[in-house]
Amino acid sequence: MVEIIDSTDDPGTGGEGDQPANEASESTGTAGGLAVRFPDVIGQERITTALGRSLRNGRVPHAMLFLGDDGVGKEATALDFARALLCRGKAGEKPCEQCADCAKTRQLQHPNLKILFPLPTPKESSDDDAAGEEYTAAQQRKIDEVLAAKRNDYYAPLEVQGGREIVLEHIRTLRREFAKTSYSGEYRVVLISAADRLRVQAANAFLKLLEEPPGGAVFILTSSRESRLLATIISRCQTFRFSPLPTQLLERALIERRNVATDAAATAARLAGGSWMQAREWAEGDPGRKMEQVVGVFRVLYKYDPGKIDELVDQLSTGAAAKELPVLLELMSIWLRDVQRFDADPERYAHLGRDASLSRFAQVCAGRDFARAVEEIEQARLDIERYVQPGLVMHQLLVRIATLLFDHGPLVVSR
């Protein structure tokens, strides 16, 4: 039975902000006299501690599978752990950041560190067996840009435009490199990003490597789509499940790592869905303005003026605003879920009470059917994706939400 390490019970990584935030600046897997550092990782202490213990005990699994949503730290953890494995410094912590190996791994240029991720099809190549084909200058430039971004930020995605799959030739190249170098007692680490995008032939070839791993080989696979992985690959890996990052932890990380203002950090963290990358993207925009728009929608529904509702529908469903409807609906869902949490347990979700509008709406809507309202919003999103007329969708949605949350009766449709 392959052991599964789950970060759900980690006080620093329990999703949706319902747990206290641990140190945002650095995770450390301390085991015995050796401290295994994860300087790039936010939270996920249960997992980093388990990895540190495995290195100290000399029982590092030869194959690990990191599962979780995008932006929760799977690749950052994998790269920091790879750096610890390849560090040959004599200090009491790894990576020591002082030896030559640490300098190479920091730049992702160590000979014993290989990174595979979906790449575009090379020039004049259309199948898995196209060995030796070269990328166009434009393709190579994009690949280099992605790797450069990764060197600077371990949370940056390994995504190249046109990169759809990891093909058989990538695995063949890896096997050739293992074959031409003899095992000298050092670890040889392979990170396979988006392992669910291994083409069938590549997955089968990789399975043979897992069944007969080369000496010193450590394979770390990451995926946000477990259902697309071969069951035989999953069964041969020790699985680590990464949970969404807590809202309070993301808020603190935005303030400490990105110098984001407190109010903007709090809003961006709430909107991020547990993803550090999403939190950063929201913080780089104007999350406060977006949430004010959402609150404005609910204020109109609370007052329940038919003419104002018609005006609001016109504003939201015409011109450039119509293109932003999916984002607006997503934010409405997030905001309502926060209202529901605060209504259900004000003490546990006291941090949400800092939003005066949210706490007031929680009082006004106490005990209402929030879950049904969220379902209605999600259905509206699906209808808009199916090209149902936005004005009709939004008018029906707003009337239903007003009825569910504010106990208003049927509205005379004036459209």
Domain-by-domain residue ranges, the chain? 4-245, 249-284, 286-406
Quick one: what percent of the chain has pLDDT higher than 90?
Answer: 31
pLDDT one-digit tens code per residue, 56-72: 888 999 999 999 999 99
pLDDT band at 381 (very low <50, low <70, confident <90, very high): confident
Supply the mean pLDDT for the chain: 83
Instruction: Name the pTM for this structure.
Output: 0.76
Fold agreement (4-245, 286-406): no
Instruction: Report, at the CATH architecture level, how domain 286-406 is classified.
Output: Up-down Bundle (1.20)
Question: What CATH code is assigned to 4-245?
Answer: 3.40.50.300
Q: How confident is the model at residue 252 (pLDDT cuts 50, 70, 90)?
A: very high
Full 3-state SS string of the chain: CCCEEEHHHCCCCCCCCCCCCCCCCCEEEEECCEEEEECCCCCCHHHHHHHHHHHHCCCCCCEEEEECCCCCCHHHHHHHHHHHHHCCCCCCEECCCCCHHHHHHHCCCCCCEEEECCECCCCCCCCCCCCCCCCCHHHHHHHHHHHHHHHHCCCCCCCCCCCCEECHHHHHHHHHHHHHCCCCCCCEEEEECCHHHECHHHHHHHHHHHHCCCCCEEEEEEECCHHHCCHHHHHCCEEEECCCCCHHHHHHHHHHHHCCCHHHHHHHHHHCCCCHHHHHHHHHCCHHHHHHHHHHHHHHHHHCCHHHHHHHHHHHHCCHHHHCHHHHHHHHHHHHHHHHHHHHCCCCCHHHHHCHHHHHHHHHCCCCCHHHHHHHHHHHHHHHHCCCCHHHHHHHHHHHHHHHHHCCCCCCCCC
